[in-house]
């Protein structure tokens, strides 16, 4: 079918136009394909506006109720899949208004009194993000619960801790998992913070300057569960910092998930063999029959890039815009929708991966026997028992490590004679700090990795987060 190169003049804003839009103009201008996702918020906002217009006497009770019923019917039509979205009507606001006119006639036009699409879209978008904040918070909490439950099985599971990806000091796997519980806890608190700042109502700001009608912005704000109306009409229609803040916290949360994914990917390799991901979250290779690829975790890692890009997109869209509204701001929705969908999927996927994850506790333990991982414990022993400054202790311990390295044995296998050849003050109670179990058990400072601490930390985490 040949697409007409021009469409009819808009019945909603076309009064001063004699010619319709070019087809390509329509293509660049329309947003209905994506902003239809705002339908519920759009109708909710319209109903609150209508209730207020009735209350202050701008709309009669009768007309107002006809409008409210029409809006309910449209909501029902959309939710039951019967509503036909029309590209010629640009966006969700005009699609709803036009259907309202079909349903109830000219009175529909009264709904736009004391309102503009500029304050309308800003309101819809805030409401949509607010809902998403709540949803993301819930799935994040579920992931935290999964991590805490897993940690409880691994309070005593010893593994190497790494810095620079080099063997550093022994830790417990439970402690490792709780690190992510903390990060996700901060992600949740960022969500709560963003929600507080976002929770002001733009509706009633009009196109940019407010309105000459005696509206009650507090009433609308309250009905929509906002804390208050936005204090400045220009700000209300022209800033998208709430969307930027939301994208920022999504990006940060995605980076957390990406790093967790990265450790798991590394640990599934034959070289590490610390963990096994279930069949449900891995794939095989079409050529190499032995393979079990951690695709799900790799995609979580990769999708963080997409989300970071979306934050960047909106920052760039916004950075040069003069006050107040510009159509550039229609480009705010796709990055936010996509980032939200992506993060939700990543969180749910990570929850499944962790639920199913089996841990090779023996391999974790076994790998702590290499890499002189308890060297710091020897240095600490010198400080405690011989009462020398840590710097000197570090130096002597370095010599001990070198001796073990030359003899191709680990620290636990050195004899007292070996050790005394480096420093004659060493006594045989040094052996009590050489095992990895002793090492983790000794890390009892607040926030440390000892099983005692982890047990208490699990209890605290349940109280703080679940």
Comparing CB distances to ligand ARG, the nearer of 128 and 267 is: 128
Least gap, CB of 79 to ligand ARG (angstroms): 21
Among 21, 31, 46, 268, binds ligand ARG (CB under 6 A): 31
Residue of 117, 150, 175, 188 that binds ligand ARG (CB under 6 A): 117
Least distance to ligand ARG from the beta carbon of 118, Å? 5
Q: How far is the CB of 313 from ligand ARG (least distance, A)?
A: 15
Q: Is beta strand 200-201 parallel, antiparallel or unpaired with respect to 228-229?
A: parallel
Judged by CB under 6 A, the chain residues 61 through 100 that form the site for ligand ARG are 91
Nearest alpha carbon to residue 169 among 452, 455, 453, 449 = 449
59 binds ligand ARG (CB under 6 A): no
The nearer residue to ligand ARG, 41 or 118, going by C-beta atoms, is 118
Burial of 356 from C-beta contacts in 10 A (0-12 / 13-18 / 19+): middle
Binding mask 270-309 for ligand ARG (x = CB under 6 A): ----------------------------------------
Q: Is there binding between residue 121 and ligand ARG (CB under 6 A)?
A: yes
- Cα four-point dihedral sign 120, 121, 127, 131: positive
Q: Site size for ligand ARG, by CB under 6 A? A: 10
Candidate ranges 117-125, 185-193, 272-280, 308-316; the one touching ligand ARG (CB under 6 A): 117-125
* Nearest CB to ligand ARG, comparing residues 321 and 403: 321
First to last CA, the chain: 57
Three-state secondary structure string covering the chain? CCCCCECCCCCCCHHHCCCCCEHHHHHHHCCHHHHHHHHHHHHHHHHHHHHHHHHCCCCCHHHHHHHHHHHHHHHHHHHCCCCCCCHHHCCHHHHHHHHHHHHHHHHHHHHHCCCCHHHHHHHHHHHHHHHHHHHHHHHHHHHHHHHHHHHHHCCCCEEEEEECCEEEEEEEHHHHHHHHHHHHHHHHHHHHHHHHHHCEECCCCCCCCCCCCCCCHHHHHHHCCCCEECCCHHHHHHCCHHHHHHHHHHHHHHHHHHHHHHHHHHHCCCCCCCEECCHHHCECCCCCCCCCECHHHHHHHHHHHHHHHHHHHHHHHHCCCCCCCCHHHHHHHHHHHHHHHHHHHHHHHHHHHHHHCEECHHHHHHHCCCCCCCHHHHHHHHHHHHCCCHHHHHHHHHHHHHHHHHHCCCHHHCCHHHHHHHCCCCCHHHHHHCCHHHHHHHCCCCCCCCHHHHHHHHHHHHHHHC
Q: Please tell me whether residue 242 binds ligand ARG under the rule CB under 6 A.
A: no
CB of 194 to ligand ARG, least distance (A): 21
Compute the least distance from the CB of residue 121 to ligand ARG, in Å: 4
Candidates 164, 286, 358, 445; catalytic one: 164
Nearer to ligand ARG, 35 or 97 (CB): 35
The angle at the Cα of 228, spanning 225 to 234, to the nearest 5 degrees, equals 120
Handedness of CA 210, 240, 126, 46 (dihedral sign): positive
Residue ranges in 204-223 that form contacts with ligand ARG under rule CB under 6 A:
none
CB of 237 to ligand ARG, least distance (A): 9
Q: Measured from the CB atom, is 291 or 327 closer to ligand ARG?
A: 327
Which of 60, 76, 189, 285 is labelled catalytic? 285
Q: Which is nearer to ligand ARG, 10 or 156 (CB)?
A: 10
118/342 with CB nearer ligand ARG: 118
Kindly state the smallest distance separating residue 293's Cβ from ligand ARG, in Å: 41
Among 116-124, 258-266, 355-363, 431-439, which window interacts with ligand ARG (CB under 6 A)? 116-124
Does 118 engage in binding with ligand ARG (CB under 6 A)? yes
Min dist CB 95 to ligand ARG, Å, is: 11
Nearer to ligand ARG, 273 or 326 (CB): 326
Q: Are 284 and 293 spatial neighbours (Cβ–Cβ below 8 Å)?
A: yes
Using the contact rule CB under 6 A, the part of the chain among 113-121, 155-163, 396-404, 422-430 near ligand ARG is 113-121
User: Is 80 one of the annotated active-site residues of the chain?
Assistant: no
For residues 313 to 352, the per-residue mask of contacts with ligand ARG, x marking binding by CB under 6 A and - elsewhere, is: ------------x-x-xx----------------------
Q: Is 432 a known active-site residue?
A: no
Between 35 and 245, name the residue whose CB sits nearer to ligand ARG.
Answer: 35
**Interface residues toward ligand ARG, by CB under 6 A:** 31, 35, 91, 117-118, 121, 325, 327, 329-330
| Residues catalogued as catalytic | 164, 285
């Amino acid at each position: 079918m040949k697409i007409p190169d021009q469409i009819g003049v808009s019945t909603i804003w076309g009064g001063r136009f004699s010619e319709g839009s070019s087809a390509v103009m329509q293509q660049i201008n329309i947003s209905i394909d994506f902003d239809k996702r705002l339908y519920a918020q759009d109708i909710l906002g319209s109903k609150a506006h209508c209730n207020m217009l009735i209350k202050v006497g701008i709309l009669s009770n009768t007309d107002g109720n006809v409008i409210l019923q029409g809006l309910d019917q449209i909501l029902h039509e959309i939710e039951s899949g019967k509503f036909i979205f029309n590209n010629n009507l640009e966006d969700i606001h005009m699609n709803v208004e036009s259907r309202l006119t079909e349903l109830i006639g000219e009175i529909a036009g009264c709904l736009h009194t004391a309102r503009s699409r500029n304050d309308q879209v800003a309101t819809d978008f805030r409401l949509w993000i607010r809902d998403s904040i709540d949803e993301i918070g819930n799935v994040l909490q579920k992931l935290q619960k999964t991590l805490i439950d897993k940690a409880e099985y691994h309070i005593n599971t010893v593994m190497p801790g790494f810095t620079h990806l080099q063997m550093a000091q022994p830790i417990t796997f439970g402690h490792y998992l709780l690190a992510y519980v903390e990060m996700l806890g901060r992600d949740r608190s960022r969500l709560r913070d963003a929600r507080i700042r976002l929770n002001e109502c733009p509706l009633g700001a009009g196109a940019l300057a407010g309105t000459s009608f005696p509206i009650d912005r507090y009433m609308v704000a309250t009905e929509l569960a906002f804390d208050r109306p936005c204090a400045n009409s220009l700000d209300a229609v022209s800033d998208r910092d709430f969307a930027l803040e939301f994208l920022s916290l999504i990006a940060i949360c995605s980076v957390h998930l990406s790093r967790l994914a990265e450790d798991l990917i590394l640990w599934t390799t034959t070289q590490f063999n610390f963990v096994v991901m279930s069949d449900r979250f891995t794939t095989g290779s079409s050529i190499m029959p032995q393979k079990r690829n951690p695709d799900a975790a790799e995609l979580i890692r990769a999708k963080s890039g997409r989300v970071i890009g979306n934050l960047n997109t909106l920052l760039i869209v916004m950075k040069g815009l003069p006050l107040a509204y510009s159509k550039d701001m229609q480009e705010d929705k796709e990055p936010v929708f996509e980032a939200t969908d992506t993060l939700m999927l990543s969180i749910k996927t990570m929850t499944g991966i962790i639920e199913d994850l089996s841990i090779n506790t023996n391999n974790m333990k076994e790998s702590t026997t290499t890499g002189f991982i308890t060297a710091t414990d020897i240095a600490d022993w010198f400080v405690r028992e011989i009462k020398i400054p840590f710097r000197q202790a570090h130096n002597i311990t370095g010599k001990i490590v070198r001796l073990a390295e030359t003899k191709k044995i680990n620290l636990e296998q050195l004899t007292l004679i070996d050790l005394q050849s480096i420093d004659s003050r060493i006594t045989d109670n040094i052996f009590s700090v050489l095992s990895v179990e002793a090492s983790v058990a000794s890390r009892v400072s607040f926030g440390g990795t000892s099983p005692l601490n982890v047990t208490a930390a699990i209890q605290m985490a349940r109280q703080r987060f679940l």
